[in-house]
Amino acid sequence: MRIFEALKWASSFLLAHGRDENAGELLLCHVLGTNRTGMLMNLREELPAEQQEEFQKLVQQHGEGIPVQYLIGYEWFYGRRFTVNQEVLIPRPETEELIVGVLERIEKKWGKQALRVADIGTGSGAIAITLALENPNLQVATVDIAPESLEVARQNAEELGARVTFYHGDLLSPFLQSGRKLDVVVSNPPYIPHEEWLGLSEVVKEHEPVRALVGGEDGLDFYRRFMVELPQVLSHSFLVAFEVGAGQGADVKGMLEATFPDAQAEVVYDINGKDRMVFAVQ
């Protein structure tokens, strides 16, 4: 079987199973240890039997619903390769927009000052590690309730050369216990309403960790908890940045305004026109 024939087979197979036919290219690049350009330059080359077998197995697994990122073991985020497995949420492009918003607001408000930053519910570590690498003035700490997630995040920090402090705990509990104050709190918490989660694609619902997705009946449980804990850990001058589910922006903005009457809160829409980020600056 030649490479182009393998791709054609994968495309047909994935379409028949209701998957994105382009996933075959990602899986074949992984098997070949090359990028898309390298693969396309060798379309007429024979695919060795061993690689053909591995490729077909991966395509069939994706057809059964396992996300491509879990099969190949990584996802690209903010130009960097992050290891992922089924203990962590796969980083999404929308979260890159959250990071852009955080970095811009830090620059505008504080310039090059050293700041104490916490990413809450880190998962793969994508937010914390990216912030630490993009702005070396930030003293970044991160928290997750799952030791398995922290293990993945630590591995990513080590591989990418990021200085991040890791805490095992529930939301802001490590800072509440230590009395440590924070200048910036960033979080992409679980925000999918339970009913909506039931209707998600099996690729997400059956493989990505529920603890990283579902935020109670209306999806807002974690934001409510933040409103209780944030006033106890934030410095007088602060930035809070949340990723939210589509349609939740106004509710979360209202919570922040009620909790911090002197802060300027705003909802920011993502590249797809959905209310995706809420920022509060004081």
The answer to whether 191 is annotated as binding is yes
The answer to whether 122 is annotated as binding is yes
The answer to whether 144 is annotated as binding is yes
Q: Where are the alpha helices (DSSP H) in the chain?
A: 3-16, 23-32, 36-40, 49-63, 68-72, 93-110, 126-134, 147-160, 173-178, 194-198, 202-205, 221-233, 249-259
The two tokens of residue 235 are 């410095």
The answer to whether 156 is annotated as binding is no
The answer to whether 121 is annotated as binding is yes
The answer to whether 11 is annotated as binding is no
Non-local (6+) Cβ contacts of 48 within 8 A are none
The answer to whether 251 is annotated as binding is no
Name the residue type at position 186.
Answer: V
Q: Phi and psi (nearest 5°) for 248?
A: -100, -5
The answer to whether 190 is annotated as binding is yes
Bridge pairing between strands 80-83 and 164-168: unpaired
Alpha-carbon radius of gyration of the chain: 21
Binding site membership for substrate: which residues? 188-191
Binding site membership: which residues? 121-125, 144, 188-191
Binding site membership for S-adenosyl-L-methionine: which residues? 121-125, 144, 188
